[in-house]
Structure 1
């Protein structure tokens, strides 16, 4: 039985939920999301969370970049069955009780982010700096209606990128591809990407300086 962290939709989006990518500066990221998640969130059985749109499951979603390229994965098997065959530029997954055990509620998100990265890819030794960018929300899909993406960017040097490897080779394939090429694909009506990656690529958030924060209230 799996338990996942959820936040009441009404606490996160006090009015109509945003659609697409909502940029948040670091201070607003803490105030509008992290603080709310810590104070209002709780663990529930995943089977219930997946059928309860009144709750949002925060999903750390890390875009790994190197110069003008973005690490791109194709989901083969395992994980969320509704995403099989889709391409993704986000590394991440659910927040589980082990993340709270490792760091307490205050470090829950960071612990989950680090664990999910380690489960999916192998990075070179040394510190990596995660930059919070904002949130992704798409209530138009079955998956998106019960999840919210917590977007980070991880910038690697060419030497570091050369050492990146997929850990779950049976369920994922991945490579660095030019950002411009990925945007062109995402702009197509039949985008090959999962909805969050499509929205993030179309937003231009990975190509420009941090945008002004969007209010979630």
Structure 2
């Protein structure tokens, strides 16, 4: 029997001691810095954490932005397939790349969050472009079972070129789509993508 994945979580009570997040929270320093510095961060079994809203799983959610030669801003978008990802999100379109932070990401004293984010990116896509990275905010959506146990951290990678390809079958139909097209098809997007687009691309 393979050992179960141990994922990075923070108690809900710790987040509430800072404040309330509902939807998109742009004050990164207020929330993320104390969360990542907290001694209450721990790695726990994924199966238990998926059904325990008393803990929030920290999930990097990376938006890949590129501006085409006509000045039109586009985001890398894909359809979640039937692979090893979150089955409750399948068939939804997404603009976020990322996933769980594992205890393996903390090996040799590494910064688990940053290491895990880049591992997830490398697993899911081939990113050949140079980019400028910013951390934009946090996402929390308690309106559904998936959202209740996950806390997203939105990162924006502004790419020099649209040189991105999906690595996994779980990321189908990958490509850059304009903000206007995404707005026109919002109901096909997963909730986090809807919230992120509405917050960052008004």
TM exceeds 0.5? Answer: yes
**Which residue in 2 is equivalent to 1:63?**
63
2:10 is the alignment partner of 1:11: no
**Which residue in 1 is equivalent to 2:81?**
76
**What is the DSSP-based 3-state SS (H/G/I as helix, E as strand, rest coil) of the residue aligned with 1:18?**
coil
Q: Give, in whole Å, the separation in 2 of the partners of 1:132 and 1:17.
A: 19
TM-score, normalisation: structure 1: 0.82
RMSD: 1.7
* Cα drift, residue 16 of structure 1: 6.5
Where in structure 1 do 4 or more consecutive aligned residues deviate above 6 Å?
none
**What is the DSSP-based 3-state SS (H/G/I as helix, E as strand, rest coil) of the residue aligned with 2:76?**
strand
Residue by residue over 1:26-67, the C-alpha shift from the partner in whole angstroms, topping out at 9 and shown as x without a partner, is xxx245213323322100000111111010001000000001
2:39 is the alignment partner of 1:34: no
TM-score, normalisation: structure 2: 0.88
Q: Give, in whole Å, the separation in 2 of the partners of 1:125 and 1:61.
A: 18
**Which residue in 2 is equivalent to 1:108?**
112
**What is the DSSP-based 3-state SS (H/G/I as helix, E as strand, rest coil) of the residue aligned with 2:43?**
strand
2:198 is the alignment partner of 1:202: yes
Q: Give, in whole Å, the separation in 1 of the partners of 2:196 and 2:129.
A: 28
Structure 1 residues 102 and 60, CA, compared in 2 at 3 Å: closer, same or farther? farther
> What are the ranges of 5 or more consecutive residues in structure 2 without an aligned counterpart?
68-72
Residue by residue over 1:95-125, the C-alpha shift from the partner in whole angstroms, topping out at 9 and shown as x without a partner, is 0011111553xx2221111111101110116
Q: Give, in whole Å, the separation in 1 of the partners of 2:193 and 2:65.
A: 14
Is contact 1:103–1:111 with CA below 8 Å preserved after alignment?
no
2:96 is the alignment partner of 1:90: yes
**Which residue in 1 is equivalent to 2:165?**
165
> What are the ranges of 5 or more consecutive residues in structure 1 without an aligned counterpart?
209-217
**Which residue in 2 is equivalent to 1:141?**
144
Is contact 2:62–2:96 with CA below 8 Å preserved after alignment?
yes
Is contact 1:102–1:111 with CA below 8 Å preserved after alignment?
no
Q: Give, in whole Å, the separation in 2 of the partners of 1:175 and 1:125.
A: 14
Q: Which protein is richer in strand relative to its size?
A: 2
How many residue pairs were aligned? 191
Q: Which has the higher contact order (CA 8 A, sep 6+)?
A: 1
> Which sits farther off after the overlay, 107-116 or 53-62?
107-116
